[in-house]
Structure 1
Amino acid sequence: MRGVISIQSHVVYGHAGNSSAVFPLQRMGFEVFPIHTVQFSNHTQYSEGWTGTAFPASDINELTQGLEKIGALKRCDAILTGYQGSVEQCEMIVDIVRKVKIQNPTAIYVCDPVMGAPDKGCIVSEGIAEFLLKKLMPMADVIVPNQFELSQFVGMEINSLSDAVTACKAALKLGPQIVLVKHLYSISDNKFSMMIAFDDQCYIAQRPQLDFDKPLVGVGDLISSLFTAGLLKEWSVIRAFKHSNEAAYAVVKKTHELGEWELQTIAAQDEIVEPTEKFELGKCVEDNSFSYYSI
């Protein structure tokens, strides 16, 4: 039994953090060993509030030790991390990644560097963003930032497609082998845009931007899990990227069709494996120092 260690937040109701990431990984054929950094009744954007608690970093360490004792770390092919509740939890991730890679040198570390989204009620503790930028992102094989998180990593503003290409290429020089930008919001007002960069290549994926009364929560966690699954299936980077865009859109579209706010991951589960709608990728190329994409 081979699997993925997923270290993220967890909600009892709805889909965010591990509650958004675990099932898609399972549906695509992988066992998941989830470790929760926090456990809340629901995600934090509810006006009614939420209940729950953050777990101490020692819990993560103890769970990892238990997995190591039964030989599970050598069966781990990827570590996927998302929202962290404290700097101490981030420090535990460094140890976990090192332990897993000793047991299984081919394992990959996929870091979704959640730095907070105040508009969604997501706040991270002091010091976490700095730790992500200086330690976790550089040591990751794959990073899955949004536009803001990427700009913080490379120290530049992103206001255009050309800026995005420059930022992605700069990020590749800081440690990661693959950069997947899960949301480039400055590229288009009416399309949802993502970008992938690897081996000095950049591709952009776009899909319809659906309107919701309130911003959806958990889409980034979904994208990270879908892309991780694609890599573990030994798909090419481009195929895994294309699939993550199409499958994520299928879940979002189903959510829109049903008039729901929580991601309808279960209702769209067949689309996670084989999305109905396909979207071509654009390859970013250089022409007189101007970056653009062409289908």
Structure 2
Amino acid sequence: MVGIMKGIISIQSHVVFGHAGNSSAVFPLQRMGFEVWPIHTVQFSNHTQYAQGWTGKAFPASEITDLVAGIDAIGELGNCDALLSGYLGSAEQGIALTEVVSRVKKANPNALYVCDPVMGDPEKGCILAEGVSEYIVDSVMPIADVIVPNQFELSRFVKMPINNLEDAIKACQKALTLGPKIVLVKHLHSLSEEKFSMMLADQSGCYLVTRPHLEFAKAPVGVGDLISALFTAGLMKGWSPIAAFEHANNASYDVLAATQKSGEWELQTILAQQQIAHPNSTFGARKVD
């Protein structure tokens, strides 16, 4: 008899049209073989980089805890193998998230918590109210098993600038002393303008993978959410962190390549679904520390 497939709770933003937040993360997790239980922190008509604006709203923090309590009430929370979190719309949602992490771990002590600490990027700066980013840094990231920040977010967490490869290695090593067991830096923009660089760090060392930059008239949104989902799925399959890291890089690159080829700026996640599970690209990681 086949047992019930374990689930992944994904607490992120959601857009009705296009791919960002849960709309970028849920399908890749499903395509890689997992049941996904999405909880939305906000629901917008589209992502926020459209000049025309967007409609929608943030949900109260109680929605997060209430929905998880409902899952617990039907006896399914113990079947949650991982919790993935992304964009938070308020500090109250951050508090609710930490409560949910505790509740999931109580129901399943082996459940993995993967935190994508969405705060911003160098171009946009911090996209959250200051209280939210402080709560993420002080109270959310330290309790995560895995963090998936960009360079800006990692720098905030470890409270040090990152200007080169040596800084990136030191920042990752420091992050590993603050709680997380695995760090994936999903974009190290200071390392190269010609190449896109990502770094993985765990107890075995630091690893770097690079791939070509793909040019777009308008930068696609939701790429970080895609990378976090792919990495989570790889870890949940029992792959080594390095194998999951390489897969996340190669699959996300293939999705971006399909998006570029289509002349679009909304990620072509559905079009490239075969590459999500079986990437064509084979960029390898190398040890750098």
Asked whether the two chains share a fold, i.e. TM above 0.5, the reply is yes
Out of 115, 118, 130, the residue aligned to residue 119 of structure 2 is 115
Asked if 1:72 is matched to 2:90, the reply is: no
Q: CA deviation at 1:2?
A: 1.2
Could you list the per-position Cα deviations for residues 190-236 of structure 1 after superposition, in whole angstroms to 9, with x for gaps in the alignment? 11100000005000011110011112100000000000000000000
Q: Superposition pairs for residues 126-165 of structure 1, below 5 Å?
A: 126-165=130-169
Q: Quick check: 1:222 aligned with 2:226?
A: yes
Residue 126 of structure 1: how far off its partner (Å): 3.4
1:14 matches 2:18: yes
Partner of 1:277: 281
**Per-residue deviation at 1:123?**
2.6
Specify the alignment match of 1:48 in structure 2: 52
Q: Distance in 2 between matches of 1:186 and 1:126?
A: 24
Counterpart of 1:96 in structure 2 is 100
- 2:260 maps to 1:256: yes
Q: CA deviation at 1:17?
A: 0.1
In structure 2, the partner of 1:58 is 62
Tell me if structure 1 keeps the 8 A contact 2:121–2:153.
no
RMSD: 1.2
Task: Between 109-118 and 235-244, report the one with greater CA deviation.
Answer: 109-118
Does structure 2 retain, via aligned residues, the 8 Å contact 1:44–1:122? Answer: no
Name the CA distance, whole Å, in 1 between partners of 2:148 and 2:96.
Answer: 20
Matched, 1:265 2:269: yes
Runs of 4+ in 1 over 3 A off after TM superposition: 117-122
State the secondary structure of the residue aligned to 1:174: coil
Q: Shift of residue 241 of structure 1?
A: 0.3
Query: Aligned pairs, how many?
Result: 285
Q: 1:66 to 1:118 in 2, by over 3 A?
A: farther
Mapped pair 1:172 → 2:176: yes
Match in the other structure for 1:211:
215
The answer to whether structure 1 residue 194 and structure 2 residue 198 are counterparts is yes
Q: How far apart are residue 122 of structure 1 and its match?
A: 7.9
Contact conserved, 2:122 with 2:152, CA < 8 A, in 1?
no
Q: State the 1:120 CA deviation.
A: 5.6
Unaligned runs of 5+ in 1: 286-295
Q: Give 1:115's aligned amino acid.
A: M
Instruction: Give 2:235's aligned amino acid.
Output: L
Structure 2 CA distance for partners of 1:121 and 1:17, relative to 1, 3 Å: farther
Contact kept? 1:169, 1:200, Cα under 8 Å: no
Partner of residue 236, structure 1: 240
State the percentage of identical aligned residues.
Answer: 63
- Look up the equivalent residue of 2:224 and give its one-letter code: G
| 1:232-273, Cα deviation, whole Å (9 max, x unpaired) | 000001100000000000000000000001000000000000
Query: Is 1:81 aligned to 2:85, yes or no?
Result: yes
Judge conservation of contact 1:44–1:121 (CA < 8 Å) in 2. no
Residues in 2 aligned to 1:259 and 1:223: alpha-carbon distance in whole angstroms: 21
Aligned partner letter, 1:77: D
Per the alignment, residue 27 of structure 2 pairs with 23
For the residues of structure 2 that align with 1:16 and 1:265, how far apart are their CA atoms? 11
| Structure 1 counterpart of 2:9, from 5, 12, 25 | 5
**How big is the shift at 1:116?**
2.7
The C-alpha deviation readout for 1:33-86, integer Å capped at 9, x for no partner, is 000000000000000010000000011111111111111210000000000000
Q: Distance in 1 between matches of 2:88 and 2:126?
A: 11
